[in-house]
Each structure stands twice: as structure tokens, then as C-alpha cells.
Structure 1
Amino acid sequence: MARPWLHLCICLQIPGFCTNLLLSQTPRNILAQTNNRTEILCELKKEHAGVYWYRWSQERQNFEFLVFSNPLGKATYGANISQEKFSVYGARSHSSYSLHISHLHASDNGTYYCSISQSSQLLLGSGTRLGVVDVLPLPPKSTQAPLPKKPAGCITKSKAAIKKGACSPLVWIPLATSVLVLLLSLVPTAYRLHRLRRRLWLRVHRQ
């Protein structure tokens, strides 16, 4: 057993060096509340003789063996590891195992690894980081997008534009054109009235 432990220590000094595609852990991170429980899933893609579970404590700089579970469901616990706190459940196909941790406490903080033995080496999973807090942080509040501000200048409400007068060229150019057309249409009428008045004036003076 000296070689697996030596290889395991080397893996811990280089995070992620020994992770492989044969073991897959989910989730990668867990934030749980004190006195609650949580679960870590380990999926296996290779035949095995059993699954080991370890915990690495960054604070204590300690790598601790927790429990070993064989395909028959028999579990072997490490020294001073409570069977009430840690339990392992395996699927019927033996392709996945889940580690259940109960009565969570701050001392349970750390990174948990599932592992299998192959060719005198312990192959580690990707690791699951567990953080235990007394109070879970509140989810971020959804902020409502502010209403767009009304642009200053000529773009106003239609009623206000009518009262104050439109200042957009799209408004006053058609209006000026209409006034010009109206004035031009009045020119012949004014000329006719002028000729009629002149004829009446001449008739009056001839009499």
C-alpha cells in the first residue's frame, strides 16, 4: 500500500494532475447550512473493486480517509469516522456511488474525492468542494430595468406638440407647402374680383 499513498500525496501537491476521465464527481461546489445534510455523486466508467472516499482539509493541511465501499455494499470506515455522519449508497449497476454527509458542521469543510485503485495507484475524481455556513446567503435581488428617459427637444407628447407647435421639419415643411398652395389658388380669384370692381367703377362714372 506504500505506492498508492505515495502517488496520492504527489497528486495533492499538484491539484488536478491525477484527475481523469474514469471518475466524474458532481457537483463541483456545495454550500450547505449547519446541521443539514448533503450528497456527492461519483460516476465510474471502469470496472472496480470498490470506491474510496477522502477529504482534503486546506485549513488543517490534512488528507483523511473516510470510508471504502465495495460492490457488495459493505463499508469500511477510517479511524474516528462516524458511521452516522457518513454513508455510501451505490447503484445496482455499480456504475455510480453517492456519499451522504449528515449533521454538517464547520469541521466538514474541505474538498472530497472519490477514488478507485488501479495498477497500484489511486485514481482521484475531480473533487467536490464543500463549504458549511451558519446562514446561507440570500439570492441576489432581481433589479428591474429603469424606464427609458424621454428625450429632450422636439420629441414630446402629441398633444403638447400641437399646443406648442411642432419643431420637426417633417411637420412644418408639409404645412408650409399647404399654405403656399392655398395662396397660389387665391391669386386668380383676387384678380377676377379686381377686374369686376374696375368694370363697376367705370360704369358708374360713365353714367
Structure 2
Amino acid sequence: MTLSCMCFCLIIWMAASVLPTLQAKPSVLYTKINGSEVLTCECKDHSCQEVFWYRYLERTKTLQFLVYVNSAGREKHGDDLNGTRFKGSVSSGQKVVYTLRITGLQEDEIGIYSCMFKAKNLMPVGYYIMPGVNPPTVQPLTVKTKKPVKICNCKPSSSPKGCEQLVLWPGIGALLLLAITLAGTLYYFSRLPKKCRHRFTKTNPLR
């Protein structure tokens, strides 16, 4: 690797060391074992003529330079790296888009994958690839069912509180009226003179 490339790798290593502590969060990709992913880095203008792809492996805590790609599509891979698994490309239009395709991802390759533009020293947040990890299951939202409201069918409703008072108060009034009548009857018979009570007995016709 050239001296300039080594300098940029050092800058990338310093940036990747603090990347997990940044407030911005990378896009999380749950990839199957031996699966593939396509990563992109966009530049708003045509000043981004060169890009460096790298990854920060979570388990080994190491930074690895992956691919260098320029605007002409020329690429150079890092040392001891399988070039068939990491393939860089570029497309230009209103934006310049650099693409990295990774195949055959394994469980020990969990980490942050991103790029850095040489001209502007821009480093996008990148992607957090997790091969072999199942995405978290989202629990279904619990919908609270409203209890049915009992509708009063009493007509007319003369009380603002509904039918309860229309049924309750007449019942209480009837009980009070019955109690008063019973008490009055008992009081009347208790006040009768004792001799009046014998008038209702049958007289003996032989006497």
C-alpha cells in the first residue's frame, strides 16, 4: 500500500474507533449466513473522485481496509482480501454513487461497514451488518376494547340520570305506602275496646 493510502487508513481507523459513540446510528442489516449485501455511498457532486471502503469488526475490535475505488471504476483491494467477495463499482449522474457488493458473509464478520471520500474527508455513518443474527420480533399492539354502553330504552326519560331513578323511586314509594298502611291497621286494631271485639262472636240461640 502507498503512503497516502496508509495515511487514509489511519484516519479511517481513528474515525471508526469513535463511530460507535456517535449519536447517529448506522443502518442495521440482518443477513443470513453466506448471504450478500449491497452497500452504497453517495456524493452530492462530482468532487468525490476516490473512495475508501472499510469495516470495523466487532468481535476482534479490528479495522480492515476493504476496497479503493475511483471515479473511473478502477479498484484496489486490501491485503489478504478475497477480491471476488468484495466488489466495488461507481455510477455517476446528478450524484456520484459508489457501491460495494459483499458476498459469503459469515458470523465472525459482524461489524460496521462504511466508506470515506478522499477529497472531502467525508465519512458516512454506514451500515451495521449482523450475519446470522435474527431480527428482533415486534410485539403486536394490544388494542383495548371498549365496554358496551347500556342504552336506556325508557320513554320518556324525565330524569337526567336515566332509567334507574324511574324504576327505583316508584318501588321505594310503594314499599313506604305498604308500610304506612300496615302500621295504621295495626294501630287501629290496638286501640279498639276489648268489649267490641266480642261482638263478632256468635251468640248462643238456646240461651
Instruction: Flag whether TM exceeds 0.5 (same fold).
Output: yes
Q: Partner of 1:147 in structure 2?
A: 145
Residue 79 of structure 1 and its aligned partner are, at CA, apart by 1.4
- In structure 2, runs of 5+ residues without a counterpart are 170-207
Contact 2:50/2:119 (8 A) holds in 1: no
Residue 168 of structure 1 and its aligned partner are, at CA, apart by 7.3
CA distance in 2, matches of 1:173, 1:15: 71
CA distance in 2, matches of 1:87, 1:81: 11
CA distance in 1, matches of 2:18, 2:105: 28
Q: Does 1:95 align with 2:96?
A: yes
- 1:37/1:172 Cα in 2 relative to 1: closer, same or farther (>3 Å)? closer
Equivalent AA in structure 1 for residue 8 of structure 2: P
Residue 158 of structure 1 and its aligned partner are, at CA, apart by 5.4
Q: How does the TM-score come out when normalised to structure 1?
A: 0.61
Equivalent AA in structure 1 for residue 31 of structure 2: A
How many residues get paired?
Answer: 158
- 1:90/1:27 Cα in 2 relative to 1: closer, same or farther (>3 Å)? farther
Q: Partner of 1:66 in structure 2?
A: 66
Q: Does 1:169 align with 2:170?
A: no
Q: Does 1:41 align with 2:45?
A: no
- 1:123/1:80 Cα in 2 relative to 1: closer, same or farther (>3 Å)? same
Residue 96 of structure 1 and its aligned partner are, at CA, apart by 0.7
Contact 2:48/2:96 (8 A) holds in 1: no
Q: Partner of 1:117 in structure 2?
A: 118
CA distance in 1, matches of 2:99, 2:136: 28
Contact 2:55/2:66 (8 A) holds in 1: yes
CA distance in 1, matches of 2:137, 2:109: 24
Q: Partner of 1:29 in structure 2?
A: 28
Q: Partner of 1:4 in structure 2?
A: 8
Q: Which stretch of the first structure deviates more once superposed, 92-101 or 31-40?
A: 92-101
- 1:174/1:92 Cα in 2 relative to 1: closer, same or farther (>3 Å)? same
Q: Which stretch of the first structure deviates more once superposed, 4-13 or 88-97?
A: 4-13
- Aligned-partner SS, 1:56: strand
Residue 112 of structure 1 and its aligned partner are, at CA, apart by 0.9
- 1:172/1:138 Cα in 2 relative to 1: closer, same or farther (>3 Å)? closer
Residue 108 of structure 1 and its aligned partner are, at CA, apart by 2.1
Q: Deviations over 1:79-122 (max 9, x none)?
A: 12112211123213361112111122112211012112238xx5
Equivalent AA in structure 2 for residue 14 of structure 1: V
Equivalent AA in structure 2 for residue 95 of structure 1: V
User: Which protein is bigger by CA-based radius of gyration?
Assistant: 2
